[in-house]
Structure 1
Amino acid sequence: MNVRRRARSEERGAAAVEFALIAMPLILLMFMIVESAFLMKDYVAVNSAVRNGARTASASGGAGPGTCEASANPPPCTPANAPAFAQGAADAIQTTATSLDTNDIDWLLIYKPGANGYPAGQTSLTCGSNCVKYVWDSGLSKFRYSSGSWASASINACLNDAARDSVGVGMQVTHKMVSGFFGASKAIQERTVMQFEPLESDRCKPGTPNAHQ
């Protein structure tokens, strides 16, 4: 009798071990699928947002300089040493990125790109010259100018001009992991570059008769 009880007990113990060996990888796989789904959702949202921002900026090459006259430093809006289309791009991203937690947005860059698609003279999404940075202001519930400059009057938006400028938009979002099995967070960076849409030939670049501002 004791032998039978011992055998049954050993069988139950072995079954529990086998279940654990099978269940743990399945549970881990389930968490991986969930984490991947949420991460992919944020990747898609960030990519869509920067593309929308770039489209808005590229269509507004002649919008002129920012008009903010606030005395705060930095000001809550885009100052005159930065282009108005930068604020337009930030506002467009604000309306597009509704599936993102805005508090997870680290920064937004609107910049003149080099041949590698990054801000001119850089090898990463780091502001150099002709680059404007925005951060999310949770108090204002909008993007706020943070730093940088780019003279709007310097932009070349002439049709069939080999030197026609482009605009780049880059954004970083910190994605918070759900399970914590794969770290606490992951930085997501996306960027898009688009050429400025042509302006009228008499105002499309510096030196034309009615050059845009």
Structure 2
Amino acid sequence: MRITVLLLLAALVGGCFTVGQRGSEGSMNLLDFGTPPSPFQDAGGRRGSVVLEVRAPQWLDGLGIRYRLSYADASQLREYARSRWVGPPAQLVEQRLMQRLDLASAGQVRGKCVLRIELAEFSQVFANPNDSSGLLQGQAFWLGPGRRPLAERRLSISSPAATADARGGVAALQVAVDRLAEELLAWERELAASGQTQACQD
């Protein structure tokens, strides 16, 4: 009798960890952004003057791959049961942007200026059970010598997912990060042309 009660309790506890999670069967999948990309051809020549920093809120600090069902309850953040990031999303985003923009990390090198990204949303959003997108939102800041604010802008990038699962969401978020890299490079050119980042070159 005691063994039966223990087995029932174990089943109930196990069920609590899979409520609201997609893909709760099968082995664990560890996912990242794939093969490292080449840097943009015109992104070099500023190592040591500009470094990159990506920050994220505490809820994004774990390894869970998050998603929202906007057609049911957009305020509820869920995560896949059998898929995980290989590292915290902020670190993966920072690594990808470093590769694309040919920058060093602010945590490893001290530069004159810092390009800081603060993530506010990094998840797969489902409009319906078969239609989803990777959503990246937050803010970007250019900080000059002494961390003096030079410029800032809001970020909101959505990329459609090819499949309604964790792999589809990760692939869509990778595209969103690559598009962010393109936007940041274009923004840097604009700021340089207007003289706002002159202090980073002096």
Task: Please give the range of the TM-score, normalised by the shorter of the 2 chains.
Answer: under 0.3
Q: Which has the larger radius of gyration?
A: 1
Which TM-score applies when normalising by structure 1?
0.23
